[in-house]
Amino acid sequence: MFYTYVLLSQFDHKLYIGWTKDLKHRFFEHEQGLVLSTKNRRPLKLIYYEACIDEQFAIAREKQLKSGFGRAYLKRRLKI
């Protein structure tokens, strides 16, 4: 399985959207400050994820969620 996920920075209240094959390990990397794009935005909270069978679908979904329409969808869905 592959996962598209959304983190909420409790530092700056902004979203981070990514994809991974191992969600638990990737979130651990984010928490430990091993990911450059989020290391200064900790603490982070995993607020949403989707499971995908295919890697290409997970990547495409990440790109969709990063678009203006995707961010609007997340705000409506998550009420943030």
Residue 65, H or E segment:
helix 55-66
Q: How confident is the model at residue 80 (pLDDT cuts 50, 70, 90)?
A: confident
Q: Which domains does the chain have, with CATH numbers?
A: 2-78 (3.40.1440.10)
pLDDT value of residue 33 = 97
Model pTM score: 0.94
Place of tokens 């949403």: 48
Question: What is the maximum alpha-carbon separation in the chain?
Answer: 33
For the segment 21-37, what is each residue's pLDDT rounded down to a tens digit?
999 999 999 999 999 99
